[in-house]
Amino acid sequence: EREREMAVCVPVPSSPSPATITAAHSALLSVSMERRGDLASVLPFLPLILRSSSLFWPPQTLEALRALSLGPDVSRVDSGEVLFDAILDLRHSLGLSGEPLSPKASEGFATFFDEWQLKTPEDSRMWFGEVVPWLARLLLRLPSLLEAHYRDSDRIFGTGKGGLRILGQQEAGTVFLGQELIAALLACSLFCLFPDADRGENHLPTINFVHLFAGFHPNGKLSQEAKIKCLIHYFERLCSDMPTGFVSFERKVLSLEHSSQSISYPDDVFWKKSVVPLCSFKVSLSGLIEDQQYEALEVDFANEYLGGGALYRGCVQEEIRFMINPELIAGMFFLPSMQKNEAIEIVGAERFSKYTGYASSFRYAGDYKDNRTVDSLGRRRTRIVAIDALDNAWMGQYKHECLVRETNKAFCGFFDQSKHECSLKAAQEGEFRKIDFTHNIVIVDNEAHYNPPVVSDNCTNVKMSFSSAPENERATNGSSAENSSSEQCQVSESSNLEESIGVATGNWGCGAFGGDPELKSIIQWLAASQAIRPFILYYTFREEALQRLEQWRPSYPVNAGNTMSTVRARCSLHTRG
């Protein structure tokens, strides 16, 4: 295929030799690599050099990686302590000695690999004799993997449109990465090979694993050990079976300026005038977002810096997700922190680990086989959206500006550009049907279900009650309560789930962030409805307040505008004390 490309793009003799074709290909590549804006943006943050229009490891680094790739008989790397020394040597060869690693990292590597993880000679032989040399060989291929990535990206998506680059703040766009390239980037993270010096001033999070190991010590939290185990398992899996799919990373931006070409950041007037009907809402008293089976958009309760404390000591919802789906970490390399009008959507990240617990009780629980289907771009149908809530909100969250900010943040994460353009046209033409949400919650197998939307041309002021269904209306034997109104035509929930992608979420911005779970649930419902998502699956994580949703019993008209007004009125009661 490459030779065919050269025959078209580069003049060659009528009977070219292989050497001539190779030279022609190099000439074409030299022009593209030297002039690439995408590569230029990430090159200062990569451990590679661009010379003669090709990417290279520095000579000393290349020699060290080659030795490491030959196994412990040559490299002498047969323990965690020696592995850390080898990492220091690699960093020195890259000129990174001026960015010293935490002294505690050395202890963390030695403790994890020599005392905790590799408890038998067979474990040690596997890691140092097979996995570490394989990682070194993968790193040796990083320059060629990147060059192939840029060529393929240009061919598939157009020049500079899908290639690896710094997707800066207020820069909407998507990066598509192969799983093998992601593995090579994460191998750089494990060996702490990324330069750190300029990341902070460019609003980029830490990407090396140094703090992860520095936070691990014998008397520390077992959750830190579990996090590292998830990542080590990821590398062990890939050593024997490298996946060939793709993962996309999209920075979504609501324009702060009004534009007919993009969706603008909604103001108060926008929300007041919205006539979009509320979508279906389903509450699950148990279960986990990542286990949902409806191909929904799965919400990452994110920090403004993607990944949050994943590579430090953090171990709550976002950090756990980044451990069981390690390919998410790759986004931390090139995605600066999010601003108020931004969100990040990642599609295709494979899950590799099972787990139990949460926070300090988090534990690695073995291998996980991800059976999600694959789309036409080679991505697993796992859609994760990172949205960062206001931190330390507490009473401030009830203020009008905070309410608008949080609703817009969720809306940014949930909206789909193409779908929204259609919805705006429909709204202008008055094509929205009013929807009746009068049904109460129905209890089925320890789950509380809001009955799906019911089409009704006569609905104007219907109410949404958060109260549980009366005893005589509750489902029995796994069947939901029947709808007593024969005049209403109930929409099939299963067909809706098949036709469009909803949102799977939970107590976003709550817990340590101080958010009101009931308020946050309404905000996300509003945002999902405005984004024309057909449903929300809301996981309460056994949050007591959300198991008493009957305390919120406002009148809910069918459109988002009046709902926002109702929420604002209730928030005003809080701010007045």
Span 491-542, pLDDT tens digits: 333 334 335 899 999 999 998 888 988 899 999 999 999 999 999 999 988 7
DSSP letter string, 493-545: HHHHHHHS--EEE--TT-GGG---HHHHHHHHHHHHHHTT-SEEEEE-TT-GG
Residues 112 and 201 reside in one and the same domain:
yes
Q: What's the pLDDT score for residue 424? A: 56
Query: Mean of the pLDDT values across residues 198-210?
Result: 97
Residues with Cβ within 8 Å of 555's Cβ and at least 6 positions away in sequence, in order, are 461, 463, 464, 566
Give the separation between CA 110 and CA 79, rounded to whole angstroms. 7
Does the residue 60 lie in any domain? yes
| Among 300, 304, 342, 436, the one annotated catalytic | 300
Asked if 473 is an active-site residue, the reply is: no
- Whether residues 10 and 145 share a domain: the answer is no
- The reply to whether 78 and 4 lie within a common domain is no
**Count of domains forming the chain:** 3
Mean pLDDT along residues 208-235: 93
Residue 121 sits in the same domain as residue 91: yes
Q: Which is it for strands 49-51 and 454-455: parallel, antiparallel or unpaired?
A: unpaired
With a cut of 90, say whether residue 394 has pLDDT above it.
no
In whole angstroms, what is the distance from residue 577 CA to residue 569 CA?
Answer: 13
Instruction: Put residue 45 in one of left, alpha, beta given phi > 0 → left and psi -120 to 50 → alpha.
Output: alpha
- Lowest-pLDDT choice from 185-194, 201-210, 227-236, 250-259: 250-259
Q: What is the mean pLDDT of residues 112-133?
A: 85
| pLDDT-derived band at 44, boundaries 50, 70, 90 | very high
Confidence of residue 465 (pLDDT cuts 50, 70, 90): very low
Residue 384 lies inside a defined structural domain of this protein? no
Tell me how far apart the alpha carbons of residues 232 and 426 are, in angstroms, rounded to a whole number.
50
Q: What percent of the chain has pLDDT over 90?
A: 62
DSSP code at position 284? E
> Is 457 known to be catalytic?
no
pLDDT of residue 316: 96
State the average pLDDT over residues 264-282: 91
Q: Is 317 annotated as a binding-site member?
A: yes
Packing angle of the helix pair 132-140, 179-190 (nearest 10 deg): 120
pLDDT of residue 75: 97
> Is the pLDDT higher at 543 or at 46?
46
How many Å apart are CA 552 and CA 221, to the nearest integer?
39
The larger pLDDT score, comparing residue 91 to residue 559, is at 91
Domain end among 169, 190, 220? 220
> What mean pLDDT comes out for the span 387-409?
91
Kindly tell me if the per-residue pLDDT of 429 is higher than 90: no
214 with 135, same domain: the answer is yes
If asked whether residues 100 and 196 sit together in one domain, one would say yes
**pLDDT of the residue at 491:** 32
Q: CA dist 133 to 74, 117, 180, 266, 484, Å?
A: 10, 18, 16, 52, 67
**Mean pLDDT on 47-67:** 96
- Both 537 and 404 in one domain: the answer is yes
Range of the domain at 3: 1-35
Q: Does 368 count as an annotated binding residue?
A: no
Whether residue 553 has pLDDT greater than 60: no
Pairing type for strands 503-505 and 535-539 reads: parallel
Q: Is residue 301 part of a domain?
A: no
Q: Is 293 among the domain residues?
A: no
Tell me whether residue 196 is in a domain. Answer: yes
What are the structure tokens assigned to 214, written together? 């520095």
Which listed residue (318, 345, 350, 516) is catalytic?
Answer: 318
Structure tokens at 196: 């750190």
End position of a domain, from candidates 170, 201, 220: 220
Sheet holding 435-436, edge to edge: 435-436, 454-455, 489-490
Question: What is the model's pLDDT at position 313?
Answer: 95
Domain identity same for 493 and 543:
yes
Of the candidates 319, 388, 436, 493, the residue annotated as catalytic is 319
Residues 4 and 72 reside in one and the same domain: no
Residues 80 and 144 in one domain: yes
> Cβ distance 182 to 245 under 8 Å?
no
Judge if 15 and 114 occupy the same domain.
no
Residues 26 and 86 in one domain: no
Residue 319 appears among annotated catalytic residues: yes
Q: What is the pLDDT of residue 121?
A: 78
Q: Is residue 450 marked as binding? A: no
Cα of 194 vs its chain's centroid, Å: 21
- Tell which wins on pLDDT, 283 or 227: 227
**Measured CA angle at 376 (ends 493, 36), to 5 deg:** 130
Cα–Cα distance measured from residue 61 to residue 192, given in angstroms and rounded to the nearest whole number: 13
Amino acid at 238: L
pLDDT of residue 115: 81
Residue 428 covered by a domain? yes
User: Does 569 have pLDDT greater than 70?
Assistant: yes
Residue 392, burial from CB neighbour count under 10 angstroms (0-12, 13-18, 19+): exposed
Q: Is the pLDDT of residue 452 over 50?
A: no
Is position 105 within any domain? yes
Among 27-31, 319-323, 376-380, 420-424, the range scoring the smallest mean pLDDT is: 27-31
The token duo for 397 is: 């969250």
Closest to 456 in 3D by CA, of 439, 470, 443, 469 = 439
Structural domain contains residue 540: yes
Give me the phi and psi of 347, to 5 degrees please: -120, 125
